[in-house]
Structure 1
Amino acid sequence: MQLFPKAYIDYLVEFHASRDYFECHELLEEYWKEHPEDPLALTWVGLIQLAVGLYHERRGNWRGAEKMLAQAERKLSLAPLLQLGIEKDNLQEQLKPRIAALQSGEERPYTDINFHIINVELAAICKLACELRGLKWGAPSPLDNEAVVHRHTKRDRSEVILARKAAFAAKKREREGLS
């Protein structure tokens, strides 16, 4: 049995069930930062960029989507996706025309990407995780759910704001002490 990082399994569940691409990005970015020497580091970045690109595309940010998806495609085309249970050719077949359409400015309705997961154990683990959370594997994006589609504008940022204010106050005190 092959072991996969919990963050990766959680990413796959969010990617294919809740379609919360912002959360996908958060989960895998945290894992990637905590494991800088991981030999799959560039693959994690490619998967993060894929989620961010889809998040932008779904919100209508075509320029941001094209940039992120193109970067993700470059990284993932070189990635050992088979090691992560993903069929690379299938992903490339979904990404390339999508990027081309974004580059040409062709407006079209948003559609989700689904990985073709070829590792049976991984697929079973992900589907069980969905079941336990009351989610449906392969569910379409909840386009009418503002909290998911526009997550970065709807989230509580009070802790981040407080931390920034504290850092600013500390720098100000430091400058005043040096003056």
Structure 2
Amino acid sequence: MRPYPVSYIAYLVHFHATRDYFECHELLEEYWKEHPGDGLADLWVGLIQLAVGQYHERRGNFRGAGSLYRKSLSKLERVDVEAAGLARADLLRKLEERADAAGAENAEGYRDINLVVQDEKLKSLCLEECARLGVIWGTDSTMVDESIIHRHKLRDRSGIIAARREALRARKE
């Protein structure tokens, strides 16, 4: 893989240290949309879906989490996850387990997924970023911080709403 994108390193830091899965989604989605020809779309989308699955599962939306874990698994099975510095077999196994657990009739509840970063250079870059931000790699999810658990409800959506209105107006014309 080429040098790791800064957005990917930030994704991994938020995924493992702040557990801000909404931010993981935002970071990697922006990168993916800005680099449509990099040939890694399935990797980026699969990792976005993984983060959104964690976000939903932590909020108790097990059906949504299970669906996203399955979609993520479908994408990540087709790409070279190891080129992204991650342990492929471990990641796919964890996705399968979480998809099954989230889809169970009496879902067992939320658990953080920790990805095995097997590229020592990537792990070092992530740990340096953690130190810079004052966060700790491997920290468990907060189950009380509403600003992280329900972030989609608390963000300013005025720009999104305005863009949707404009798109609707343009279609009507």
Paired position in structure 1 for 2:125: 125
Following the alignment from structure 2 to structure 1, what is the Cα–Cα distance between the partners of residues 114 and 123? Answer: 12
The equivalent of 2:134 in structure 1 is 134
Q: Determine helix, strand or coil for the equivalent of 2:49.
A: helix
RMSD: 1.9
Uncovered stretches (5+) of structure 1, i.e. residues with no partner: none
2:34 paired residue number: 34
Specify the alignment match of 1:54 in structure 2. Answer: 54
How far 1:130 moved relative to its partner? Answer: 0.6
Taking every aligned residue pair, what percent have the same amino acid on both sides? Answer: 48
The CA deviation at 1:164 is 4.2
* CA distance, structure 2, for counterparts of residue 8 and residue 27 of structure 1: 8
The 5-angstrom pairing of residues 96-135 of structure 1 reads 96-135=96-135
Q: Displacement, 1:170? A: 6.9
Cα shift at 1:55: 0.7
Residues 98 and 35 of structure 1, relative CA distance in 2, 3 Å threshold? same
Q: Hey, what does 2:156 align to over in structure 1? A: 156
In the aligned structure 2, how far is the partner of 1:84 from the partner of 1:167? 36
TM-aligned CA deviation for residue 2 of structure 1: 5.8
Shift of 1:167: 5.5
Please give the secondary structure, in 2, of the residue aligned with 1:7: helix
Distance 1:27 1:19 in 2: 13
Q: CA deviation at 1:159?
A: 2.7
Q: Distance in 2 between matches of 1:168 and 1:41?
A: 28
Q: CA contact under 8 A between 2:46 and 2:75: conserved in structure 1?
A: yes
Cα displacement (A) at 1:98: 1.5
**Contact 2:17–2:135 (Cα < 8 Å) also in 1:** yes
- Name the CA shift for 1:44/1:167 in 2 (closer, same or farther; >3 Å): closer
- The residue correspondences of 1:18-33 to structure 2 (distance < 5 A) are 18-33=18-33
Cα drift, residue 158 of structure 1: 2.5
Deviation track 1:83-124 (CA, whole Å, cap 9, x = no partner) reads 010001111221212211222223213110011001001001
TM-score (norm 2): 0.92
* AA at the equivalent of 1:23: E
Aligned residues: 173
Q: Which residue of 2 aligns with 1:88?
A: 88
Unaligned 5+ runs, structure 2: none
Q: Tell me which moved more, 16-25 or 90-99.
A: 90-99
SS of the residue 1:122 aligns to: helix
- Larger CA deviation: 161-170 vs 55-64: 161-170
Give the Cα separation in 1 of the matches to 2:93 and 2:15.
Answer: 18
Paired residue secondary structure (1:78) = coil
* Per-residue Cα deviation, 1:27-78 (whole angstroms, up to 9, x for no partner): 1111111111111111111001111111111111111111110000111122
